[in-house]
Structure 1
């Protein structure tokens, strides 16, 4: 998979930019606040349909404008595809694939596959379970279109079921319909758990070996899917649903007291360990960075396994977070992958990428220029 061209208009601090990308390395250099991350974000938005930053869509549009657009031309499985996003203040964004408007933004997920690595990804290691669930959900959605539908359905089920629990004794009908919602919860939740377990097993398969290479086989790395529904993860969907239903039925009184759905994949977590100790609490800074690097490179391999091609790799100012050993490992690993890299200093990159096919771009106040090879 290769992005050939990126066109952005009135996107954040970019007025009008058109970039022909290299099929290998694309390195964007500039001081902080010049637009490097904005450029990266526009590619990510064209893949996922949402930003990786906590902003409203109105903030994606240049302050002095009412509309914005992002257009990407790519080649995937030997087919040319054009993705267009049109943003207008206070309106839903519109997405076009080869000129055809999509009914739902979610339909674009999986067309442009990407793996993004930013300094904020350390939250996957250090942050709450919410961060790890978000990471898992985005990854699976890229390769399993049904999964996004299941997540949306499950969210609605939990919301409706919480209302029933809250009003369980004040509305007599709730006692009659709670079992119906329990069945919805268990059925949809079991499918999500099954998808997640399958993905984490694949992640484990690649990440364990990658971490071993990074550490020189001196440390043991492990991943564990933690569910509050069941302990044996090697079950089929029907068996998971049965256990889930039993869990709900035996704890219904407790949930009514708490007026909240206490069990299900909305409470899942991914436990990351090094040498048997949880990395979040006991890992050194170097170990935590190696762990997130191993996980991100494993993401790449899973997508390649699923779609037959490497995804686009987006590296937003992460090389400054890595020591020379990890930088070298990362650059060697991505030799056959199209990568977009942002940095404030190209000194190390010029040495690390000296044998790569590459382009350097310089960004200053939303303007892209001084392009050299």
Structure 2
């Protein structure tokens, strides 16, 4: 397999003293990319091409290095190029060389399947095979919780318009990704919570089937309440900060004097709490109060895995009652507020990844969005359009054209 290399014409001498977030991206068997070695510079890069050629996949690879999972919520095996499953061992790899204010980083994600089942077709194996995902930082193996958030990135995608109207799992995922990028230890806390939740659910089911004693729940109730309180508290702190950022941005984008706010909806009554210990006690009391119901159900009925949040526009629920245009503007304000928040909390501004969102906006909103993002160190925009001069003007822009998983033009 020949890897396409496009780094020869890019230099960084003029960028000394200014951090570049992703300066090189290498892909092997990732989505529709058999092999690619691409250098990226500071400023704005526009990636164009027809739909279905691999523009989104390029951004997904970069975002994978930031959050450790697909930006589209896809299963890991879906990120492995289908043709790779014709080989005895299917393996995909994403490697990024990043520069931040704290120094250089080599970030690596490997997606590896087991040995091919004798006689199975590549397509059948692709559909059935589980893929193991591993992480390395500067060549050293890392747990996912220690990998997530080393590279900061914000992804804007056309399908984000459904974030506020879709199922709660989308909103929990969004909030946890943001919290992981700016709250040290949150990713590991979330993993610990999931581990304890799985154990407690198994015990609840066993008690329901009279294969375990109810008294065994007390230990797991305490453990889960501790992790749950830390997660909820971290989410609330991040959401409150995001709430402050997004309202003025929304007024600017919409041109209207309307208040955009966020409301967290826990799955149990919390009320006011003094600290995480206080919140943990509330959670523990909640477990004890609904114990009979949980045993009957055979799984945990309350906790951050069942929480939600909503956006309100002058008190109106955006997810339920806003027009598609209003929802899109609200989401843009959230994303821009997210980028601002990351820049406020850490030393590096995030990489800005915009996946074909400009085509969804009118000229005025396009200009407002671009005015907000143009000062970030690195902005990568995908588009099916060939001309974005209405918002970019004479700003220097690097252009990359993608066709069938290959860069066919770069300049």
TM over 0.5: yes
Contact 2:208 2:298 in 1 (8 A): no
Q: 2:54 aligns with which of 35, 41, 48?
A: 35
Contact 1:30 1:364 in 2 (8 A): yes
The DSSP-based 3-state class of the residue aligned with 1:16 is: strand
Contact 2:343 2:350 in 1 (8 A): yes
1:267 and 2:267 equivalent?
Answer: no
C-alpha separation in 1, matches of 2:228 and 2:329: 32
1:321 and 2:345 equivalent?
Answer: no
Contact 1:24 1:356 in 2 (8 A): no
Deviations 1:54-97 (A, max 9, x none): 44433333333333322211210151222223333335234322
C-alpha separation in 2, matches of 1:218 and 1:77: 38
Q: 1:80 aligns with which of 80, 88, 104?
A: 104
Contact 2:363 2:390 in 1 (8 A): no
Deviations 1:78-136 (A, max 9, x none): 5122222333333523432222232x233211111111111222232110111100101
1:158 and 2:197 equivalent?
Answer: yes
Q: 2:93 aligns with which of 69, 86, 93?
A: 69
C-alpha separation in 2, matches of 1:224 and 1:41: 29
15-24 or 268-277: which moved more? 15-24
Q: 1:24 aligns with which of 26, 43, 53?
A: 43
Task: Please report the RMSD computed on the Cα atoms of aligned residues, expressed in angstroms.
Answer: 1.9
1:368 and 2:407 equivalent?
Answer: yes
Structure 1 gap segments, 5+ residues each: none
1:11 match: 30
Structure 2 gap segments, 5+ residues each: 1-19, 85-89, 115-130
The DSSP-based 3-state class of the residue aligned with 2:207 is: coil
C-alpha separation in 2, matches of 1:139 and 1:10: 28
1:127 match: 166
Aligned length: 370
Structure 1 residues 173 and 313 mapped into 2: Cα distance closer, same or farther (>3 Å)? same
1:98 and 2:138 equivalent?
Answer: yes
C-alpha separation in 2, matches of 1:294 and 1:310: 17
Q: 1:112 aligns with which of 151, 163, 169?
A: 151
- What's the offset of the Cα at 1:301? 1.2
245-254 or 315-324: which moved more? 245-254
1:282 match: 321
Matched ranges for 1:134-213 at <5 A: 134-168=173-207, 170-171=209-210, 173-213=212-252
Structure 1 residues 320 and 125 mapped into 2: Cα distance closer, same or farther (>3 Å)? same
Structure 1 residues 179 and 220 mapped into 2: Cα distance closer, same or farther (>3 Å)? same
What TM-score comes out, normalization by structure 1 length? Answer: 0.93
Structure 1 residues 180 and 85 mapped into 2: Cα distance closer, same or farther (>3 Å)? closer
Higher relative contact order (CA 8 A, sep 6+): 1
C-alpha separation in 2, matches of 1:99 and 1:170: 47
